[in-house]
Every structure is written in C-alpha cells, then in structure tokens.
C-alpha cells in the first residue's frame, strides 16, 4: 500500500482502539523500552503525546528516563518550513498546545540535533525495512536527517510492521528499530 492509504487505514485502526486495549499495548511497549541498554545515552528525545490521536503515552517513558538521570528533549514545530526545534524538558518547562494539539515547550533551553543520543519516533505504521508512515508533513524525516550518524532512532507503534510501504522516497529515513507489542 501507499503512504496515503496506510495513513488513513492506521488512523482509523488507532481510533477504534479501546482505552483498555491501549493500556495493554502500551505496557508491552514500555517493558521493551525499559530493557534497552541506555548506559551510553545522555540526551533522549521523546515526542509528546497527541492524546486526541490516541498516540502512545510517553509520560511513563519520560519518568523512567529521568529516573535514570537522562536529559529529556522535546520538539516545537515551525509551521512555516515544517521543521522542528528541540528543547530540554524538565519539571519547570511550561507546555502549550500548538494549533494541531501538540504540547510544546515555551520556556526551555534549545539543543542541537547533533547532541541527541537516542530519538523515539512517533508513527502510524512501519514496514519490515523500518521505514515509517507519519502524518505526512515530513517533520521527522527532516529532523532525523540532521542527527549524528550514530544516533539511535527507535519508532514506537501499536502495530506490527507491514511487509512494504510502496512509495518510500529518497527523503524517507529508515529507523534503527521499531518497538511494537509482541
């Protein structure tokens, strides 16, 4: 299937998930994240959950990584050029919802992409080659292309990867790993 078809199908699949199903799927995902080797990681980039789209709740992951003395980094969108800027996220960071309902930091210190060690990536679905389908604006592909070559990029998803996304292009970034309920 092509990205637009997959985007529509998996938005609908996610919309149909019950609160209980989401809780069970997330618990499985969290356990896999907790088992990752993060001994060499200092800066962890996490997406902040868009609850209206039933995204994976990253609050427990933020709590976990903070308990391991890792710096949490979150993004803010620039809607004029579809880019992301990245900021430290601590207990004093104030968040504000942008026009799409994404919580964003408004009083935090900025950090460059090259300083990130581990990036968790949101998605609707991925394929066996670890390419992903997001919401279609290319924010994460542009962001990931600016990261160091050794940054670990991990997708978080409720669904097992499909065989292939038919219309992958040269701007799409393949992830290092995709975590989904097993």
Question: Does position 168 have pLDDT exceeding 90, yes or no?
Answer: yes
Residue 49 carries which DSSP code? P
Contact 116, 148 (CB under 8 A): yes
Question: Does position 12 have pLDDT exceeding 90, yes or no?
Answer: yes
Note the pTM of the prediction, 2 decimals: 0.95
Question: Does position 177 have pLDDT exceeding 90, yes or no?
Answer: yes
pLDDT tens-place string over residues 25-52: 999 999 999 999 999 999 999 999 988 8
pLDDT of 146 = 96
pLDDT of 137 = 85
In percent, how much of the chain has pLDDT > 90? 88
Q: What is the CATH number of the domain that holds 149?
A: 3.40.50.10420
Neighbours of 102 (CB within 10 A): 21
77, 135, 137, 142 from 83: Cα distances, Å: 6, 14, 9, 7
Q: At what angle do helices 59-67 and 19-34 cross, to 10 degrees?
A: 20
Contact 130, 155 (CB under 8 A): yes
Give the mean pLDDT of 162-174: 95
Which comes out higher in pLDDT, residue 80 or 127? 127
SS3 134: coil
Q: Structurally, how many domains does the chain consist of?
A: 1
Quote the domain boundaries for residue 26: 3-179
Q: What is the rounded CA–CA span in Å between residue 7 and residue 125?
A: 8
Give the mean pLDDT of 70-80: 95
The beta strand positions in the chain, using DSSP E, are 43-45, 71-78, 83-88, 95-97, 103-105, 110-111, 118-122, 125-126, 132-133, 152-156, 177-179
Q: Which element (helix H / strand E) includes 66?
A: helix 59-67
């Amino acid at each position: 299937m092509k990205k637009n078809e997959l985007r529509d199908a998996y938005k609908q699949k996610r919309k149909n998930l019950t609160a209980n199903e989401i809780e069970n799927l997330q618990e499985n995902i969290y356990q896999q994240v907790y088992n990752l080797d993060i001994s060499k990681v200092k800066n962890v980039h996490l997406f902040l959950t868009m609850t209206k789209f039933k995204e994976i709740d990253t609050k427990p992951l933020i709590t976990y990584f903070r308990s391991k003395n890792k710096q949490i980094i979150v993004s803010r969108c620039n809607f004029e050029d579809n880019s992301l800027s990245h900021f430290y996220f601590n207990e004093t960071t104030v968040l504000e919802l942008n026009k799409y309902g994404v919580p964003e930091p408004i009083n935090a210190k900025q950090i460059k992409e090259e300083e990130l060690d581990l990036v968790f990536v949101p998605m609707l679905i991925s394929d066996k080659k670890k390419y992903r389908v997001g919401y279609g604006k290319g924010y994460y592909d542009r962001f990931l292309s600016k990261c160091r070559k050794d940054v670990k990029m991990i997708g978080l998803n409720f669904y097992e990867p499909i065989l292939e996304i038919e219309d992958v292009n040269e701007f799409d970034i393949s992830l290092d790993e995709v975590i989904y309920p097993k």
